[in-house]
Amino acid sequence: MLINSDKMIPITKLQKTITQKVREIAETGEPVYILKNNELAAVIVSKEEYQALKQAEDILEHLEIADMLEERLKDYNKSKSISWQKVKAKHGL
């Protein structure tokens, strides 16, 4: 991951310019990289970038679930299934 050094800011400087930086992020969509003790500590991203990341996370979660289902269905034997009606009848529901 390449980081534009112009977009890196020490946390102490960010504390003084937070309003300006948030405005810049909203206008340009470019993230700001926050340094603490000269180490990357956090990243502030635009609302649109955050939404895209959350959507990607949701897609990955759905793919993981699909993989789990596929794996479990390999051993599925329909003849051993019990209908919902039989379960309800057995338990008086």
Mean predicted lDDT score pLDDT of the chain: 92
Three-state SS for the chain is CCCCHHHEEEHHHHHHHHHHHHHHHHHHCCCEEEEECCEEEEEECCHHHHHHHHHHHHHHHHHHHHHHHHHHHCCCCHHHCCCHHHHHHHCCC
Q: What tens digit of pLDDT does each residue of 36-81 get?
A: 999 999 999 999 999 999 999 999 999 999 999 999 888 888 888 8
Q: What is the mean pLDDT of residues 13-38?
A: 94
Q: What is the mean pLDDT of residues 15-31?
A: 94
Residue 1 in this model has a pLDDT that exceeds 70: no
